[in-house]
């Protein structure tokens, strides 16, 4: 299947893939809630679906089609994502703004994307609490640290992760910036118990021994690493933000575009992590692939 410019796979190509996967036109019509003839016109007459129908096709595509081969094709088409992010200041600023806004919003930040942009540019943000501005500025600084350190083949270390956490949690001293948690934390998005604080250093050492080994399926490995990091939950706060920075570091170091997980994906993201509790990483892998598509679009077009 052809991957369109900026990672946009056409509706026609998605329908073709779904039909090859074994779904019939009748199945597609039922799932998308259109007539059989509508599916026929989309497939054979060059008729384009309306936006609502296009979104339904996209959801079916992500549900039934393994996206990892398409992501690997994107990697081959993009020469050096790290160089683009380091040298193209316009794209770098867009990346910092988008990743900061979405990552903080997933954690409950009420800042709008415009307010986030103002905060990271050092402008005043009216009617926002200082801690909300700190969160945006800190995340921006953590991304800059990542871009300063990262290079092709970069190896993640404990010092690197603790440094990222110390920046993300700067000015939040009760959260022990740059240190593992020393007590219990409550996580509302999973029923799986978190390890007690005394086990965290040992579990992190085990995690770090394998984190730079990607094998023949790097996307799947990075997705499962993200789950494992969140399951350890090594810090009192900032685990989600540092975990997504870790995922970004891993992907960039292996030559992939950076992932952009949106606030719109929040509940699907939590669901995917929850499926990991059962040893099922398919949803998380698909989500990481979708996030990489958006990162590719940003690097190529400067927007998503």
Name the residues annotated as catalytic.
233
**CA 258 remoteness from chain centre:** 8
d(CA 27, CA 290): 24
Q: Which residues of 51-85 are buried (b: 16+ CB within 10 A; e: fewer)?
A: eebbebbeebbbeebebbebbeebbeebeebbebb
d(CA 230, CA 61): 27
Calculate the alpha carbon distances from 63 to 18, 173, 267 in Å: 10, 42, 16
Annotated binding residue 240 = yes
Annotated binding residue 244 = yes
Annotated binding residue 214 = no
Annotated binding residue 266 = no
Annotated binding residue 274 = no
Annotated binding residue 241 = yes
Are 18 and 61 within 8 A, CB to CB? yes
For residue 243, which phi and psi values (nearest 5 degrees)? -60, -40
Annotated binding residue 156 = no
Q: If phi over 0 gives left and psi between -120 and 50 gives alpha, with beta otherwise, what is residue 108?
A: left
Query: Of all helices (H) and strands (E), which one includes residue 223?
Result: helix 218-232
Annotated binding residue 243 = yes
Binding-site residues from annotation: 237-244, 269-270
Binding-site residues from annotation for ATP: 237-244, 269-270
């Amino acid at each position: 299947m052809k991957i369109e410019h900026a990672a946009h796979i056409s509706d026609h190509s998605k329908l073709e893939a779904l039909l090859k996967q074994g779904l019939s036109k009748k199945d597609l019509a039922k799932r998308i809630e259109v007539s059989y003839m509508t599916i026929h016109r989309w497939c054979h007459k060059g008729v384009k679906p309306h936006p609502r129908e296009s979104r339904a096709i996209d959801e079916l595509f992500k549900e039934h089609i393994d996206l990892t081969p398409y992501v690997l094709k994107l990697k081959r088409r993009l020469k050096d994502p790290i160089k683009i992010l380091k040298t193209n200041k316009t794209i770098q600023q867009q990346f910092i703004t988008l990743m900061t806004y979405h990552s903080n919003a997933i954690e409950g930040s009420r800042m709008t994307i415009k307010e986030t942009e103002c905060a990271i540019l050092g402008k005043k943000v009216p009617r926002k609490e200082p801690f909300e501005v700190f969160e945006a500025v800190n995340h921006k600084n953590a991304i800059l640290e990542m871009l300063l350190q990262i290079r092709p083949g970069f190896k993640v270390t404990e010092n690197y992760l603790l440094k990222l956490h110390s920046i993300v949690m700067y000015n939040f001293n009760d959260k022990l910036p740059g240190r593992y948690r020393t007590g219990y934390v409550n996580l509302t998005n999973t029923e799986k118990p978190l390890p007690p604080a005394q086990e965290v250093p040992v579990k992190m050492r085990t995690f770090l021994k394998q984190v730079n080994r990607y094998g023949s399926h790097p996307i799947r490995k990075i997705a499962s690493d993200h789950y494992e990091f969140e399951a350890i939950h090594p810090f009192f706060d900032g685990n989600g933000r540092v975990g997504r920075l870790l995922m970004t570091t891993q992907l960039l170091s292996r030559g992939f575009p950076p992932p952009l997980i949106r606030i719109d994906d929040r509940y699907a993201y939590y669901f995917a992590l929850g499926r990991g509790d059962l040893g099922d990483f398919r949803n998380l892998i698909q989500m990481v692939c979708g996030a990489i598509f958006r990162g590719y679009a940003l690097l190529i077009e400067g927007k998503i």
